[in-house]
Amino acid sequence: VLKITLPHRFDFGEDRQLVGEDILHPEAWDALRLQTDGPFAIPADLDAAADAQPAARDRAEAIAAVLDGWEAQHLVSYGVGTALPERWLQRVRPNLRLTLTEYAPGTVARLQELLPDADVRRHDLRDGPADGDAHLFHRLDTDLDNAGWREVFGAFGDARIVVVATEVMPVRQALYRWQLVRRMPTHASRAGWVRTRGAFEALWRRTHTARPFRAGDLEAWALEPRS
């Protein structure tokens, strides 16, 4: 299984001045969440926005089925961003206790305003797990490099984790993607990393056993501690 990790770049167009050269810091994410009105922005009405993404229900149902299998009562989600996946999880499992965490402070404050009854906290996932009996990394894979992820999975070594991938890059696309990134305009911002399946699975091989599953249209894994 080929383990390939490539740098990812994204052209934010007019929002480039807000994001800067590299998306991977909390100020850049806050700028996208709070000062734009595109797909990265936190919508004023989260429930209406969740309604407009019916495909997210299938993702949530698949994640919830894994949590049911674990008899999880309290899920902590990291890097929640707009928190729409978590809105759907709460809809499909109203009795599940949910803690929403993010490292971008403005995003946390805005979510606390919009969701006054929810448990929303500022937390950097590199500081290890927050209290809960299951943990969700939903489309966070691009945000850390391989060494960063191995440290995170080490810190979460006793934890059950659902990992939902932004994208699993087919091995046959790797060369083409590499050329594409190199040819992107210089104003395209650095936007983390993309990985093949082998590269994903190498991140947690030492700490967790993994069962792959489909979360609707996305690829996912249910991780259990080896220890």
Ligand X SMILES: C[S@@+](CC[C@H](N)C(=O)[O-])C[C@H]1O[C@@H](n2cnc3c(N)ncnc32)[C@H](O)[C@@H]1O
Residues binding ligand X (CB under 6 A) = 26, 29, 78-82, 85, 102-104, 124-126, 138-140, 142-143
Taking the least distance from each CB to ligand X, the nearer of 136 and 199 is 136
Name the minimum Å distance from CB 176 to ligand X.
Answer: 23
**In whole angstroms, how close is the CB of 225 to ligand X at the nearest point?**
21
Task: Output 11 or 175, the one with its CB closest to ligand X.
Answer: 11
Q: How far is the CB of 142 from ligand X (least distance, A)?
A: 6
- Nearest CB to ligand X, comparing residues 52 and 175: 52
Q: Which is nearer to ligand X, 6 or 140 (CB)?
A: 140
Backbone angles phi, psi at 202, to 5 degrees: -70, -20
Q: Would you say 15 or 143 has its CB closer to ligand X?
A: 143
Q: How far is the CB of 84 from ligand X (least distance, A)?
A: 6
Residue 186: CB minimum distance to ligand X, A: 23
Closest residue by beta carbon to ligand X: 79
As a whole number of angstroms, the distance between CA 33 and CA 216 comes to: 25
- Distance (Å, whole) CA 116 – CA 54: 24
